[in-house]
Structure 1
Amino acid sequence: MLLESLSPLSGMINLVLVLLSVLTSAFTAAVGVGGGVLMIMALAQVMPAAALIPVHGMVQLGSNVGRTAMTWRHVNRAMLAAFLPGVVLGALAAAWLLVRLPAGVLELSIAAFVLFTCWGPGLPKRALGRGGILIVGAVTTLLSSLVGASGPVVAAFIKQSQEGRLAKVATFSACMLLQHLSKAFVFGVAGFVFRDWLPLMLVMVAAGFVGTWLGLRLLHWLPEHRFDNLFKWALTLLALRLVWLGGQRLAGAG
């Protein structure tokens, strides 16, 4: 059966993941953030741990290629140019370092940053300059390759630096495209065999294009203030989920 041949998983699970790719891509295109985290939560339930982050990264790469292509006119190219060197530095560090923070600390640190950018006084202007963007690019690329949890941090940073819903979605998508592209290098160096999962990844990427198209139609329909509220609350809910996960892991490690 065609569905059975897509990956080592069962045909029914492959079908669910393809449909989920449509849903999560549409969600990110319409709301600005969240689809990647929903996707990695679902993949974690059914996929071997060794395949989780590289497969998620390649599917998200395809999804962000679609979003970037459809919104390219709205990408902040200056920010993208500043973000790229950080991505390169973070990918090189991830390829050679095995960083392991105490269980729960990473999740709580990310949650604190996201909640501060959503509800705090705002980042200082210096942090939004080229140096700040480079540091965010490097740190979040390293986090993304190690734990797959960088999207909310990048989105929270872009929320402070970009005006307008299309600029936020377009610039976030372009930055995440670079970040997920770096995972092909990181996990290739680590010896991950993408071939076993390639058919499923390609079908999920194609499904993601459909979801992105649907989500962007909704984005154009959303009023600016409604988008800003949805974006802020989506980030806040993702951060609270990280607080819950981080607290559980700290309690378990204690």
Structure 2
Amino acid sequence: MPLLDSLSPLSASLNLLLVLLSVLTSAFTAAVGAGGGVLMIMALAQVMPAAALIPVHGMVQLGSNVGRMAMTWRHVDRVTLLAFLPGVAIGALVAAWLLIRLPAGALELCIAAFVLFTCWGPGLPRRALGRAGTLVVGAVTTLLSSLVGASGPVVAAFIKQRQAGRLAKVATFSACMMAQHLTKAFVFGVAGFVFHDWLALILAMVGAGFAGTWLGLRLLHRLSEHRFDRLFRAALTLLSLRLAWLGLQRLGLG
């Protein structure tokens, strides 16, 4: 227990729970193609200070996506990735300017609204599939990723329309998300976040994420996306509504 206590400012039991959650969410994303990052940030948002939420989540997701891409790199669509990267740079610069100007409580409301939209909103239009559309998607989702943490469902919806095979979808999605999460070290460094207090927990969750990725890739051809969809969306909706209530309270509106 002393080791678990030393991982972060959270309690030992919460640290253990988050490490186990990293296994689950990484396995889910590797097996289904997306969704684990959203589930993780919604769980983190229930127990973690708002200032640490997105940078910690981003670094954990960076490690998880590095692991997935390392295991599937032969299947990455390099044309899509190269068109995506300039947008990532633009979105990160805008996020670094905007992030420090958000009032307390706004972050929670942004995350809740974004997750509800990705669960129940319309899909991406087909015109978003070209090179210009790819750049725009890269910029917008990187900005969203820095503000709301989990832009994965939007990126996944975009990748899904461009890729035929499930391995190609997982590999290209992981490469794009790796680039996005890498920018968070810059964005939150500019905003003044100190990673040191959370570094041990981040590393433990990244290590657990590698184990989850290995497990999820073994299950890739055995699981049905439809089987998980209804329960997954219901759980995210309930977590989003609770997070929105917390945001309203911090803004003095709840």
What TM-score results when the alignment is normalised by the length of structure 2? 0.84
CA 1:110–1:16: 2 relative to 1, 3 Å: closer
**Structure 1 unaligned spans of 5+:** none
The equivalences for 1:82-101 within 5 A come to 82-98=83-99
CA distance in 1 between partners of 2:218 and 2:168 (Å) = 15
Are 1:110 and 1:153, in contact at CA under 8 Å, matched by a contact in 2?
Answer: no
CA distance in 1 between partners of 2:182 and 2:66 (Å) = 10
The CA RMSD over aligned residues, in Å, is 2.9
CA 1:116–1:240: 2 relative to 1, 3 Å: farther
Q: Does 1:138 align with 2:144?
A: no
Deviations 1:107-158 (A, max 9, x none): 55775566422xxxx732x320110010000001001101113111111111
Are 2:128 and 2:137, in contact at CA under 8 Å, matched by a contact in 1?
Answer: no
Are 2:76 and 2:171, in contact at CA under 8 Å, matched by a contact in 1?
Answer: yes
Matching residue of 1:116? 122
Letter in 1 for 2:68: R
CA distance in 2 between partners of 1:3 and 1:105 (Å) = 31
Shift of 1:62: 0.5
CA distance in 2 between partners of 1:209 and 1:230 (Å) = 24
Letter in 1 for 2:34: V
Letter in 1 for 2:57: H
Shift of 1:181: 0.4
Shift of 1:83: 0.5
**Structure 2 unaligned spans of 5+:** none
Matching residue of 1:204? 205
The equivalences for 1:152-231 within 5 A come to 152-222=153-223, 226-227=224-225, 229=226
Matching residue of 2:61? 60
Matching residue of 2:30? 29
Once structures 1 and 2 are overlaid, which stretch shifts more, 161-170 or 80-89? 161-170
Are 1:31 and 1:219, in contact at CA under 8 Å, matched by a contact in 2?
Answer: yes
Letter in 1 for 2:170: V
CA distance in 1 between partners of 2:94 and 2:141 (Å) = 11
CA distance in 2 between partners of 1:7 and 1:239 (Å) = 25
Are 1:74 and 1:171, in contact at CA under 8 Å, matched by a contact in 2?
Answer: yes
CA distance in 2 between partners of 1:80 and 1:13 (Å) = 36
CA distance in 2 between partners of 1:241 and 1:155 (Å) = 22
Residue identity over aligned pairs, in percent, reads 70
Shift of 1:221: 3.4
CA 1:154–1:14: 2 relative to 1, 3 Å: same
Once structures 1 and 2 are overlaid, which stretch shifts more, 62-71 or 148-157? 148-157
Are 1:75 and 1:174, in contact at CA under 8 Å, matched by a contact in 2?
Answer: yes
Shift of 1:36: 0.8
Letter in 2 for 1:172: F
Are 1:33 and 1:234, in contact at CA under 8 Å, matched by a contact in 2?
Answer: no
CA 1:160–1:95: 2 relative to 1, 3 Å: same
Shift of 1:44: 1.1
CA 1:109–1:208: 2 relative to 1, 3 Å: closer
CA distance in 1 between partners of 2:80 and 2:15 (Å) = 37
Deviations 1:162-197 (A, max 9, x none): 111111111111111111001011001111100111
What TM-score results when the alignment is normalised by the length of structure 1? 0.84
Are 2:38 and 2:115, in contact at CA under 8 Å, matched by a contact in 1?
Answer: no
Deviations 1:37-57 (A, max 9, x none): 111111112111110110000
